[in-house]
Structure 1
Amino acid sequence: MFPNALRDGRLVAAALLVVSTFALGVQLLNPPELVVAGGDDAALETVGYYFRYRDAIVVAVSAAVFGASAAFLALDAYPSDSEEKRSLETAVADSPEAGTSDGPGASESADETARRTRWEETAARLADTERIVYETALEADGEIAQREIVERTDLSKATVSRTLSNLESRGLLDRERRGMGNVVVLQ
């Protein structure tokens, strides 16, 4: 995972996010004070807090780096359509059935292999609870009752339902109403 994160730039973006957050915090929480020594009585008086040009530049640059790295990390979390299409094309091209035309059964097998490969790649990109729920559906060949996910995992009904809603909103699965319950179907 570490080499992939470094190659993709996620590790660098995360480091920049931490550094810029620290720099912003230091600059904004500790502004310089303007102290004025007055006349004959030699009393020091704090007039106010003013940022110097250097401080303003540090804040502006840190804010820009913070925004850019946060946006990169947020947008990088979800694969683009072109990435999914490319991974599907690679899976189909690399499958042993690719290039053989032994009738309709060969293309169905190639489609199943490509679909399973795509599901496994998607599962590898998910984190924590989402991965557990997705892999449980994957182990059931892409179709499982929602109540079975609750039974097979140590997750509560609410957690499974919330996680499925998140995955469904990202287009990774569908929930179909069947009878009294839902059936989860991977996309």
Structure 2
Amino acid sequence: MKSELLAALLVTFGLSVNATAAPETYIIDSKHTMPRFSYSHFGYSTQLSKFDKTSGKIVFDKETKQGSVDVTIQTTSVNTGYALFNEHIQSEDFFNTAKYPTATFTSNKLNFNGDKLSSMDGTLTIKGISKPVTFTVTSFLCMPHPMAKKDACGVNATAVVKRSDFNMGKHVPYVSDDVTIDIPVEAIKE
């Protein structure tokens, strides 16, 4: 009787251990992750630029809804659509890519509204200056990737920051201080 009870407890315990999810690591797919930024140009138009090289990872525990996000953007890969302006925006007045070739966003605080990821609180670092930033999540999905044949997660997130907070305030207020950052990310499980 005791051995049957012990066996039943072990089976129950073993099943509950196996049923508990663990954090999973997803590596950012640089071909489908292109952070963008937009700003008002003298009030005439909203200009949109992107970065072509991004890396990083997402660690996510589906059961506990906890995890982390690490994104590294190669600021030297800025793409404004115009080669001369790409060089200008990499100057000391703006990204200063000679001294700061990367920008990063790191988060250890994922905020859920029920089962829906609603925002990520973290730290944005540009030109060596780190500021707390909350990215609002507009979509989030984890599922098997139909082509990679592995689990994958995707997220679209947006935030508005002041470029002057990152020592990039040249031409304010003519060119807006507020910059909208959009980060579409796709990441595939290791």
- TM-score category of the 2 structures, normalised to the smaller one: under 0.3
Greater fraction of residues in strand: 2
TM-score, normalisation: structure 2:
0.24
> TM-score normalised to the size of structure 1?
0.24
Q: Between Structure 1 and Structure 2, whose CA radius of gyration is higher?
A: 1
